[in-house]
């Protein structure tokens, strides 16, 4: 019988060879694969069924041209993607990212992680992700609409309420989802509310979907802290980013009695010793779509610094990276640790580099990995799908109670799996294993497909 470690290494080498130059995808695959060694040792049936070989190869990848005309009348072309990674436990589900850095590697790492994240929520959703290398920054509403309509004109051929249900991610919020929904409806005819999530409340959206990822991250970290007799109350928190995840992480952490001292955007970060004024950040980012540097004009006692990495040198008890992938490197992790950080909760997808995760774990810092800690967004997306199917809407309290329960369950299931497989307290390993087992069992039951 093959040794689990050899099996994992062999399949990982094959993944690297088959997907050359896709460093983010390799990184996501390696983290999961390494966590699964104890699972294969205990249950060789997953090796016999070629689960790793199959789970690391997307069921389908769609790449397409997205032509549009800018406000100057110039023809522009972007590249669109949808990765339909795994549909063992439900239809493909995952967001759409519009950002200039988007490429096959980024979409595949996100789609791969989504399989396990969605499984962890306990809901019947498979893994998918999409996006385009389009930069929404500085674009007019008209340009955003034309681009988004062009994107959906192609994407609509591959999605549907029981096939693949996209939602938002970086660069895609309520405005873009609205344009996508309108275009999908226009092409398909008929009203299929369940084809997208993150919709406006007026046309089938769920209360609390906007808040869900940020709130969920804080609920998850609250559980981690509770187990150690700690809490958000009275603590200092640093949140990177100022998008949808960051804003609602700041809101919930503040409601729980923390002081959030800093947040950022892709140009730089602000430090407000009095605690971030969230109303200002919300208006600047959600309404006026301005840069975070504008904050100090209204709050002159606060400081603005160019560049993002410096945010991790601000002393804090709890760090919530909510901006983007690989935003915490080894050096930043060491600074956070030296400054006495107690917990790190990942609101963004894969924000900590592997060296940073190792540093947190080996220094006994509580570490909530993205797949578990930021699963609240997609979990409430699945609740939106459920409401659409039933043609009713739950109250904000009902959704919040369900979200809270889901986050507590994810925490407990991850802790349990970590314990059971010999890594007590290691939520990264626990979340990877707990997310994997449900999908792997479904794959075994469904045969070699
Ligand atoms: N983009 C979010 C994520 O990374 C949400 C996906 C969804 O709601 O489908 O999980």
Say which CATH number the domain at 228 has: 3.40.50.720
Structural domain includes residue 228: yes
- Domain assignment present for residue 431? The answer is no
Task: Report yes or no on 24 lying in a domain.
Answer: yes
Say which CATH number the domain at 65 has: 3.40.50.10860
Tell me the best of 82, 93, 95 to mutate to test the pocket of ligand 1, counting ligand atoms within 8 Å of each CB and taking the most: 95
Q: Is residue 441 part of a domain?
A: no
Minimum CA distance residue for ligand 1 atom 10: 378
Q: Which of 32, 55, 78 is the last residue of a domain?
A: 55
Query: At which of 373, 401, 436 does a domain end?
Result: 373
Same domain, residue pair 15 and 92: no
Same domain, residue pair 88 and 183: yes
Point out the ligand 1 atom lying closest to the alpha carbon of residue 93: 9
List CB contacts of 181: < 8 A, sequence separation 6 or more. Answer: 195, 196, 199, 203
Give a yes or no: residue 196 inside a domain.
Answer: no
What residues line ligand 1, using a CB cutoff of 6 Å?
93-95, 117, 167, 169, 197, 349, 377-378, 381
Residue 314 belongs to domain spanning: 212-373
Q: State whether 229 and 154 are in the same domain.
A: no
Beta bridge partners of 318: 237, 343
Q: Which of 167, 170, 180, 371 maximizes ligand 1 atoms within 8 Å of its Cβ, making it the mutation to test the pocket?
A: 167
Judgement on whether residues 9 and 158 belong to the same structural domain of the protein? no
Same domain, 358 and 218: yes
What was the pLDDT predicted at 2?
A: 79
Please identify every stretch of the chain with a pLDDT value under 70, giving residue numbers as ranges. 1
In a domain? residue 331: yes
What is the position in ligand 1's atom list of the atom closest to the CA of 169?
1
The answer to whether residues 35 and 155 belong to one domain is no
Mark whether 271 and 284 lie in a shared domain.
yes
Q: Dump pLDDT digits (tens) for 93-120.
A: 999 999 999 999 999 999 999 999 999 9
Distinct helix (H) and strand (E) counts, the chain: 18, 12
Same domain, 234 and 338: yes
- Alpha carbon 45 to chain centroid, angstroms: 30
Are 220 and 359 in the same domain? Answer: yes
Of 55, 83, 99, the last residue of a domain is 55
pLDDT of residue 385: 98
In a domain, 169, yes or no: yes
Q: Is 52 exposed, middle or buried (0-12, 13-18, 19+ CB in 10 A)?
A: buried
Question: Is 286 found in the same domain as 176?
Answer: no
| Sequence-distant (≥ 6) Cβ neighbours of residue 379 within 8 angstroms | 121, 123, 212, 216, 403, 406, 407
The crossing angle, in degrees rounded to 10, of helices 354-362 and 330-338 is 30
| 219 and 322 part of one domain | yes
Statement to judge: residues 49 and 138 lie in one domain: no
- Would residue 74 show up in a list of annotated catalytic residues for this protein? no
pTM of the complete model beyond 0.85: yes
Looking at residue 52, what is its pLDDT? 98
- The tally of domains found in the chain comes to 3
How high is the pLDDT of residue 1? 60
């Amino acid at each position: 019988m093959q040794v689990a470690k050899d099996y994992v290494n062999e399949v990982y080498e094959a993944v690297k060879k088959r997907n050359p130059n896709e460093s983010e995808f390799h990184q996501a695959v390696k983290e999961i694969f390494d966590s699964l060694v104890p699972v294969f040792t205990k249950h060789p049936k997953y090796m016999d069924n070629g689960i790793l070989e199959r789970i690391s190869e997307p069921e389908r990848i769609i790449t397409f041209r997205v032509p549009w005309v800018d406000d100057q009348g110039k023809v522009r072309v972007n590249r669109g993607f949808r990765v339909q990674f795994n549909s063992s436990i439900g239809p493909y589900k995952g967001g759409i990212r519009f950002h200039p850095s988007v490429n096959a590697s980024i979409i595949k790492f996100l789609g791969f992680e989504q399989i396990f994240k969605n499984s962890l929520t306990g809901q019947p959703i498979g893994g998918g992700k999409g996006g385009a290398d389009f930069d929404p920054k500085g674009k007019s509403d008209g340009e955003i609409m034309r681009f988004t309509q062009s994107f959906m004109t192609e994407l609509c051929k591959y999605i549907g309420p029981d096939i693949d249900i996209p939602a938002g991610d970086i660069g895609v919020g309520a405005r873009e989802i609205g344009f996508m929904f309108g275009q999908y409806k226009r092409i398909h005819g008929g009203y299929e509310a369940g084809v997208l999530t993150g919709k406006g409340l007026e046309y089938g959206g769920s209360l609390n979907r906007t808040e869900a990822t940020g709130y969920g991250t804080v609920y998850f970290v609250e559980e981690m802290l509770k187990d150690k007799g700690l809490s958000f109350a009275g603590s200092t928190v640093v949140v990177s980013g100022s998008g949808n995840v960051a804003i609602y992480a700041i809101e919930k952490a503040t409601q729980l009695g923390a002081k959030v001292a800093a947040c950022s955007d892709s140009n730089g970060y602000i430090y407000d010793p009095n605690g971030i004024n969230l109303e200002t950040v919300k208006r600047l980012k959600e309404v006026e779509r301005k840069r975070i540097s504008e904050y100090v004009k209204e709050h002159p006692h606060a400081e603005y610094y160019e560049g993002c990495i410096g945010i991790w040198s601000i002393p804090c008890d709890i760090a919530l990276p909510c901006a983007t992938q690989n935003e915490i490197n080894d050096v930043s992790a060491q600074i956070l640790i030296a400054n006495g950080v107690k917990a790190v909760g990942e609101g963004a997808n894969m924000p900590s580099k592997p060296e940073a995760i190792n540093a947190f774990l080996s220094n006994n810092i509580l570490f909530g990995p993205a797949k578990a800690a930021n699963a609240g967004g997609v979990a409430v997306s699945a609740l939106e799908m459920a409401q659409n199917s039933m043609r009713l809407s739950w109250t904000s309290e009902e959704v919040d109670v369900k979200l809270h329960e889901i986050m507590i369950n994810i925490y407990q299931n991850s802790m349990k799996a970590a314990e059971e497989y010999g890594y007590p307290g290691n939520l990264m390993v626990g979340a990877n294993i707990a997310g994997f087992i449900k999908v792997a069992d479904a794959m075994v039951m469904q045969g070699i497909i």
